[in-house]
Amino acid sequence: MDAWFRRRPVLVDCLVTAVLLFLFSVSNVGFFGFYEEPLHPTFVQEQVLLMMLTVGQLAPWAIRRWNPLLSAGLITAACLIQLFWGPEFLGSLVAVPMTVYNLAVRGPVWASFTGIGLAVAGALANGFKVWLWPRPWLAPDGTQISATPGDVTAFLIMSIMCSAVALAAWAFGDLARTRRIALQQLEDRARQLEVEAAQERELAAADERNHIAREMHDIVAHSLQVIITQADGGRYAGAADPKVAVQTLETISGTGRQALGEMRRLLGVLRGPEATELRPQPSLADVAELVDGIRLTGLDVEHTVEGQPRRALPAGSELAAYRAIQESLTNTVRHGGPRARAWVTQRWTPSGLEIEVLDDGRGAAASQETQGSQQGLIGLKERIAIFGGTVQAGPRQGGGFRVFATLPYQEV
């Protein structure tokens, strides 16, 4: 039932208005209908005036949500008519504190203060009227009963009581306005947080896509280069020594299986956690195995580790270091040419890890066929930068290529 009323606020206001009109106007007419003697025409006119005042003070309440200022203006006009030509008190004056409350809740700030000001001024004016100019009372037979002026006590009671009721209504209305504004601010903040959360999810998804793209590049580029090199070498060596061909095919098979496993793991991330394999990510402990695999392609690689780590790097930093060495050696295999050599140095310093990969090959620019898009190096720089590191890559003096990367300790 409460939800039904909340969905139809205007209908509720109309129902409240109808009930109030019945209580304060129709009931009065019914009461005088039981009067045995004929009603004097002047008394009837008086009752019609009172009914019109009652309707004028209560009927505008039906539009108090649609147009609170218009509703308050009509009620104020009816109250002014009563002040000058009507009795001192009518039951329909209950519309005054109701209107003060409505203006405090829904009207502009200036209208709220204007409403309470007019209500207090009306209470004082009505108090003066009771005190100094009381209105004669008209009996049903037309007899006028003059009212004697009251004393200051009547003025104080009328003014203070009416003003207190109006001020209480305004205080409750202002409190309701404050609460409504606070709720609106909370709703706006909730919507803003939802938008920010959606944006953060989109950014996280984009970052994850970039991360997966870099992983895919590292896996595919390295594995395919090893497979291509082994296939080319095995094709020629197999003619002279079949055992070499068998060993080459085993290397190709192992490299392909490893690449396929890593590809499945990355695609499992896209499908969901239930499809993700639990194989750990490569780390610095796997660099020696990586170098051994590169040597099978025919590239002469010298691997050196200098110094001791002050403490272990985070898993993400170790993965970035592994990918840096993998990307550099893969580029050497691809672009170095025949009889190229490479030197891999892992150097531990007080500030972190330094990785240097040198080769004496001819470089990517030596042949248009082997010239790459540099996407691997760009992804490598982005990956290293995530962990506060730097990457320098470029040709060496005297020939060859050099990649130098730093990965600092993550201070806590």
Return the pLDDT at 370. Answer: 46
pLDDT at residue 77, rounded to an integer: 93
CB 326 within 8 A of CB 222: yes
The letter for the amino acid at 49 is: L
- Looking at 9-18, 270-279, 341-350, which range is the least confident one? 270-279
- pLDDT at site 275: 42
Per-residue 3-state assignment (H helix, E strand, C coil) for the chain: CHHHHHHCHHHHHHHHHHHHHHHHHHHHHHHHHCCCCCCCHHHHHHHHHHHHHHHHHHHHHHHCCCCHHHHHHHHHHHHHHHHHHCCCCCHHHHHHHHHHHHHHHHCCHHHHHHHHHHHHHHHHHHHHHHHHCCCCEECCCCCEECCCCCCHHHHHHHHHHHHHHHHHHHHHHHHHHHHHHHHHHHHHHHHHHHHHHHHHHHHHHHHHHHHHHHHHHHHHHHHHHHHHHHHHHHHHHHHHCHHHHHHHHHHHHHHHHHHHHHHHHHHHHHHCHHHCCCCCCCCHHHHHHHHHHHHCCCCEEEEEEECCCCCCCCHHHHHHHHHHHHHHHHHHHHHCCCCCEEEEEEEEECCEEEEEEEECCCCHHHCCCCCCCCHHHHHHHHHHHHCCCEEEEEECCCCCEEEEEEEECCCC
- pLDDT at residue 274, rounded to an integer: 44
**Which tens digit of pLDDT belongs to each residue from 31-53?**
555 455 566 677 667 777 888 88
| 376 has pLDDT over 80 | no
pTM (two decimals) = 0.48
Residue of 16, 82, 14, 24 lying closest to 53 (CA atoms):
82
- Residue 54: the pLDDT is 87
User: Contact at 8 Å (CB) between 136 and 95?
Assistant: no
Please state the separation of Cα 126 from the chain's center in Å: 54
Whole-Å CA distances, 281 to 15, 90, 173, 295, 324 = 71, 85, 63, 22, 14
Q: Which pLDDT does position 387 carry in this prediction?
A: 84
pLDDT at position 99 is: 94
User: Residue 312 — φ and ψ, nearest 5°?
Assistant: -70, 145
- For residue range 194-221, list pLDDT tens digits in order: 888 888 877 776 776 676 666 666 666 6
The two three-digit tokens of residue 403, written as one number: 């990649």
Tell me the mean pLDDT in the region 344-357: 94
Tally of CA atoms within 13 A in the half-sphere of 37 that contains its CB = 8
- pLDDT per position as a tens digit, 142-174: 666 655 666 777 788 888 999 999 999 999 999
Q: Per mean pLDDT, which range of 35-39, 123-127, 299-303 is the poorest? A: 35-39
**402 neighbors 393 (Cβ within 8 angstroms):** yes
Mean pLDDT of 175-195: 89
Rounded distance, CA 64 to CA 102, Å? Answer: 7
Mean pLDDT of 392-401: 87
What is the Cα gyration radius of the chain? 46
Kindly list the structural domains of the chain, giving each domain's residue range(s) and its CATH number in brackets, ordered by start: 2-150 (no CATH), 284-412 (3.30.565.10)
